[in-house]
Amino acid sequence: MTTGTAITGHGVWHPDTVLNNDELCVAFNEYARRYNEANPDKEPIKPSSSEFIVKASGIKHRYVQDKTGLLDPERMCPNIPDRPETELSIQAEYSVNAAKVALAKAGKTAEDVDLVVLGASNLQRMYPAISIEVQEALGARGWALDMSLGCSAATGATIIASQAIQSGTATCALVVVPELTTGHMNWRDRDSHFIFGDASVAMVVEKADRAKPGSWEILSTRMLSKWNPTSIRNNLGYLDRCDPTTKDTDSKLFHQQGRRVFKDVVPLASKFIKEHLESHGLAPAQIGRYWLHQANEKLNSLVAEYVLGREATRAESPIILDEYGNTASAGSLIAFSLHSDDLAAGTYGVMCSFGAGYSLGSLMLQRT
Ligand code: COA
């Protein structure tokens, strides 16, 4: 079984600024102290701690676009100035940065590209599509589209790219995933202020018979969605100004029920992956690597353990969230891009995302 398409290049980019847990907690705790002092009649905000963050999530630090604003106890939000409409927008810039690495690895130039699919959990505007701006900035041909699917936007974009090649509507597709996630976080929320980081990743997808050795053939793809209105959500949208009573509430930022996500996603994702393996007649131990969505280290360990029937090693299921934090839909693609070059020809690998919706996406890959 094969889609006849392959990932022929991939690359990761992240901003230079590192934000570690200690400095994040100092700022949060100062914000909490000021809030509690100013609101003696309200429920006090408890302090956050680096120990908790590492123990609960596995995240040690993350890369961020800006930390001056989010470490300012009076502001608690990154400072990211709006750009003039004639300048490259920031998510397009994130995309272009990763795209250049992926194209170089694929041995392609932008003129070879005739489709850009941009997937991200947050899109900075409604229209014109950011992917079209990326297409123009790179000098690519053909057509482009943006897609939104929470933390499965990147696997979803790769699947769409593969399908476009299969159907003949494109010959060389570029997937770009500009996850500037720090803009959607509630830095005043103790339960989630440590979760996300900024990064982008890109992939080149072509027909497998044109792929050079060392590429990753996409044998098959799967997607699944299951509605859950409250577990992971962000209500920000174009209708916000129409209801001034909710316009600036916390519901317009990322919020989740972390424990609920754990309970729902571990069985859902492990079953989803197992069924994908079964459709190929492959046993879990025949997979050389599992590049899983990177939201929480314990969650990944449990999903891998449910699939394998034993604990997975770091080599079998690499973790990048200790360094990058949760990079939303980019996570499993970043894990793939950083941890796939060492595998031998013929090795099977599974890339799988799970996120808001719920939404899941997986790709069964084999090294050429
Ligand atoms: N610092 C210190 N303590 C904290 C804290 C913080 N920042 N945040 C919460 N706590 C405390 C809680 O108050 C609670 O204390 P209690 O037991 O005395 O009530 C305790 O730590 C446990 O809180 P809980 O929220 O149950 O923690 P958790 O172990 O579930 O970890 C998450 C929280 C968010 C890290 C975890 O649930 C998670 O990552 N879930 C998966 C989320 C996911 O994958 N989302 C996808 C997003 S794309």
pLDDT tens by residue, the chain, 368 residues: 999 999 999 999 999 999 999 999 999 999 999 999 999 999 999 999 999 999 999 999 999 999 999 999 999 999 999 999 999 999 999 999 999 999 999 999 999 999 999 999 999 999 999 999 999 999 999 999 999 999 999 999 999 999 999 999 999 999 999 999 999 999 999 999 999 999 999 999 999 999 999 999 999 999 999 999 999 999 999 999 999 999 999 999 999 999 999 999 999 999 999 999 999 999 999 999 999 999 999 999 999 999 999 999 999 999 999 999 999 999 999 999 999 999 999 999 999 999 999 999 999 999 99
What pLDDT is attached to residue 155?
98
Q: Whose CA is nearest to atom 30 of ligand 1?
A: 259
138 lines ligand 1 (CB under 6 A): no
151 lines ligand 1 (CB under 6 A): yes
Q: Whose CA is nearest to atom 37 of ligand 1?
A: 258
What sign results for the dihedral spanned by CA atoms 54, 322, 262, 253? positive
Write the single-letter amino acid at 308: L
303-332 CB burial, b ≥16 within 10 A, e <16 = bbebbbeeebeeebbbbbbebbbbbbbbbb
Calculate how far, in angstroms, residue 331's C-alpha sits from the geometric centre of ligand 1: 20
pTM: 0.97
What pLDDT is attached to residue 293?
98
Calculate how far, in angstroms, residue 258's C-alpha sits from the geometric centre of ligand 1: 6
CA-based nearest residue to 337, from 119, 3, 11, 7 = 11
Question: Which residues touch 300 (CB under 8 Å, ≥6 apart)?
Answer: 292, 293, 294, 317, 319
Q: What are phi and psi of 205, to 5 degrees?
A: -120, 130
Specify burial of residue 167 (Cβ count, 10 A radius: 0-12, 13-18, 19+). Answer: exposed
What pLDDT is attached to residue 170?
98
In this structure, are residues 295 and 151 in contact, taking their beta carbons and an 8 Å threshold? yes
What pLDDT is attached to residue 28?
98
* Rg from Cα positions in the chain: 20
Task: Quickly list H helices, the chain.
Answer: 21-38, 50-57, 90-106, 130-138, 153-167, 258-279, 297-308, 321-324, 331-338
Calculate how far, in angstroms, residue 259's C-alpha sits from the geometric centre of ligand 1: 7
What pLDDT is attached to residue 274?
98
What pLDDT is attached to residue 250?
96
301 lines ligand 1 (CB under 6 A): no
- Does 77 participate in catalysis according to the annotation? no
- Cα-based angle 151, 307, 265 (whole degrees, multiple of 5): 35
Q: Whose CA is nearest to atom 1 of ligand 1?
A: 48
What pLDDT is attached to residue 106?
98
What pLDDT is attached to residue 183?
97
What pLDDT is attached to residue 280?
98
Q: Which of 24, 26, 49, 52 to mutate to test the pocket of ligand 1 (most atoms within 8 A of CB)?
A: 52
Catalytic residue among 25, 77, 151, 242: 151
What pLDDT is attached to residue 121?
98
What pLDDT is attached to residue 175?
99
48 lines ligand 1 (CB under 6 A): yes
Question: Token pair for residue 135?
Answer: 């297409």
Q: Are strands 348-355 and 287-292 parallel, antiparallel or unpaired?
A: parallel
355 lines ligand 1 (CB under 6 A): yes
256 lines ligand 1 (CB under 6 A): yes
200 lines ligand 1 (CB under 6 A): no
What pLDDT is attached to residue 89?
98
Assign 220 to helix, strand or coil. strand
Q: Which of 190, 265, 327 to mutate to test the pocket of ligand 1 (most atoms within 8 A of CB)?
A: 190
